[in-house]
């Protein structure tokens, strides 16, 4: 067990989400948060005692909101809501995504605007800490009113219904809760809609995507630096004077990182030397413009982080109770448009990263473009023609890059009406987050292929000529995948390097 993560509805970070999702850090509720939650509940109770009509508390939902629910049926209303909205389909979400969504749902309740009893929040946190993970189908959310279907599957288990994974076994929700020693909650007024109304699934995926993207961009810089050395590239393009003249933060940082990686290299050249050697004083765009492209991606990821961390610490259910003013107001904070736009931007940015990498892969393998390296990096001792070298690794990269281009089509510009046209504009935020996740997976493979090809080229050039940073990277790559001395299946080598990217082994040791 790692450090404890406290939820207060205000200060949760992406790093906290990663700790809970991946490392099963314990979650705790500070005493002041408990007081806020209790106060919110008391105010809601007082409003109902005054006879106020409150959406989702004593009315129907969506297009049925004009139906008043009798006092004696308001509890059944909440139970029916969760049961009827648990309509997701498809494969179950990964456990780490489920844990992240549970944490974010708890953090939203901790803000003290949801009007639930404290026991609802405490039970959700207890499920996290004891490892009761609801089985949540991956598909079924249009992103407004938030992630209704997925969060309803989560809430079912809190009620002792549905299905959950506990200690590696899928059980009924009731059995999983019993084995974990947790008493299910009988929902009271407002509590069903407080659990399933919000953006927690899309935001959970988004938070994990950002963590993954920030690691990937560092790996992409390592791959670019190795390729630059393998192709005997021109380092003039990394000069800080160029990047101060166009002061985008990401661009300058990427240029600085690349220069740091190739410091001490005997393979890169200055412009005058390159002009004498090749007749050209600079490189193709896929090498020369790496700071501009990866830097733009860095800036897009930074934007997405800012949006997601705001959303993680927001009240996104409806209606919201404002204890200081003594009112309960209905609005639209459940709408996932901020996350949808941020995840589409992230997906587009990572698609660019993959496209750039694929172009360098093609360059490394083409004997007409790779500054004297053998065709397809067939090792000198192997017979050309009889051996194909790394030829088909580029096919795979091209396939993944092309798939990314399709996936990069923005979901945020789509909408389809629901609830008899009452909920007539939706965000598709969960679709955007899930697409970005697939783009990240594909691009990790593309970068792995570039690292495989660059390392093969470096074997021919001479690893002893590498820069300080790239030398470290080369050693890690060669531990994951030995040099290709004759034709062999490449899939395991690619998979091993991809794992080193994804688990941070590459970036942590190089940086």
- Grouping H, G, I as helix, E, B as strand and the rest as coil, residue 146 is strand
CATH number of 5-198: 1.10.275.10
How far is the C-alpha of 309 from the C-alpha of 289, rounded, in Å?
Answer: 31
Instruction: Dihedral sign for Cα 176, 195, 122, 117, please.
Output: negative
Largest pairwise CA distance in the chain: 88
Among the listed residues 106, 109, 138, the one whose alpha carbon sits nearest the alpha carbon of residue 17: 106
Token reading at 42:
């008391």
> In this predicted structure, what is the pLDDT of residue 3?
76
> In this predicted structure, what is the pLDDT of residue 2?
54
Mean pLDDT by 10 residues, the chain (511 residues): 85 98 97 98 95 92 90 94 97 98 98 98 98 98 94 98 98 98 97 96 98 98 98 96 98 98 96 76 94 98 98 97 96 97 98 98 97 95 93 98 98 94 93 98 98 98 97 98 96 98 94 80
Catalytic residues, by residue number, are 55
- Grouping H, G, I as helix, E, B as strand and the rest as coil, residue 290 is helix
pTM for the full predicted model: 0.96
How far is the C-alpha of 201 from the C-alpha of 85, rounded, in Å?
Answer: 15
> In this predicted structure, what is the pLDDT of residue 180?
98
Residues forming CATH 1.20.200.10 domain(s) in the chain: 206-510
How far is the C-alpha of 206 from the C-alpha of 346, rounded, in Å?
Answer: 9
CATH 3.40.50.620 is right for the domain spanning 206-510: no
Residues forming CATH 1.10.275.10 domain(s) in the chain: 5-198
DSSP letter string over 304-358? HHHHHHHHHTS--SSSEEETTTTEEE---TT--HHHHHHHHHHHHHHHHHHHHHH
CB 335 within 8 A of CB 427: yes
How far is the C-alpha of 42 from the C-alpha of 216, rounded, in Å?
Answer: 47
């Amino acid at each position: 067990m790692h450090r404890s993560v406290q939820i207060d509805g205000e200060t949760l970070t992406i790093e906290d989400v990663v700790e809970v999702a991946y490392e099963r850090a314990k979650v705790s509720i500070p005493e002041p948060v408990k007081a806020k939650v209790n106060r919110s509940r008391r105010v809601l109770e007082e409003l109902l005692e005054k006879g106020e009509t409150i959406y989702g508390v004593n009315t129907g939902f969506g297009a049925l909101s004009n139906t008043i629910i009798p006092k004696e049926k308001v509890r059944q209303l909440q139970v029916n809501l969760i049961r009827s909205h648990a309509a997701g389909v498809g494969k179950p979400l990964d456990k780490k995504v489920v844990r992240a969504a549970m944490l974010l749902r708890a953090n939203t309740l901790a803000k003290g605007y949801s009007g639930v009893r404290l026991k609802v929040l405490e039970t959700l946190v207890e499920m996290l800490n004891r490892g009761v993970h609801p089985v949540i189908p991956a598909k079924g959310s249009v992103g407004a009113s938030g992630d209704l279907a997925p969060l309803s599957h989560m809430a079912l288990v809190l009620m002792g219904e549905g299905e959950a994974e506990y200690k590696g076994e899928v059980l009924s929700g009731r059995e999983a809760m019993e084995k974990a020693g947790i008493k299910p909650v009988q929902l009271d007024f407002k509590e069903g809609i407080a659990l399933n109304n919000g953006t927690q699934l899309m935001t959970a995926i988004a938070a994990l995507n950002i963590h993954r993207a920030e690691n990937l961009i560092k790996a992409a810089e390592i791959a670019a630096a190795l390729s630059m050395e393998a192709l005997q590239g021109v380092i003039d393009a990394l000069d800080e004077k160029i990047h101060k003249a166009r002061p985008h933060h990401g661009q300058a940082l990427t240029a600085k990182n690349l220069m740091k990686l190739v410091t001490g290299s005997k393979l890169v050249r200055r412009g005058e030397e390159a002009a004498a050697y090749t007749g050209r004083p600079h490189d193709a765009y896929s090498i020369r413009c790496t700071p501009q492209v990866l830097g733009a991606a860095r800036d897009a990821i930074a934007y997405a982080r800012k949006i997601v961390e705001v959303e993680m610490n927001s009240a996104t259910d409806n209606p919201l109770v404002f204890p200081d003013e003594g009112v309960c107001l209905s609005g639209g904070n459940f709408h996932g448009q901020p996350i949808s736009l941020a995840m589409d931007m992230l997906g587009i940015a990572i698609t660019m990263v993959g496209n750039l990498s694929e172009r360098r892969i093609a360059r490394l393998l083409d004997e007409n473009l790779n500054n004297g390296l053998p065709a397809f990096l067939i090792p000198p001792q192997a017979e050309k023609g009889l051996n194909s070298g790394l030829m088909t690794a580029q096919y795979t990269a091209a396939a993944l890059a092309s798939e990314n281009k399709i996936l990069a089509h923005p979901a945020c510009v789509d909408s389809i009406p629901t609830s008899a046209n009452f909920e007539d504009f939706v965000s598709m935020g969960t679709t955007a987050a899930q697409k970005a996740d697939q783009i990240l997976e594909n691009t990790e493979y593309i970068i792995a292929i570039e690292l495989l090809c660059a390392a093969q080229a470096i074997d021919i050039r001479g690893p002893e000529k590498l820069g300080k940073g790239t030398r470290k990277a080369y050693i890690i790559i060669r531990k994951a995948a030995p040099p290709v001395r004759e034709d062999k299946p490449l899939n395991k080598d690619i998979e091993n390097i991809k794992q080193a990217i994804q688990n941070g082994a590459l970036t942590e040791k190089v940086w």
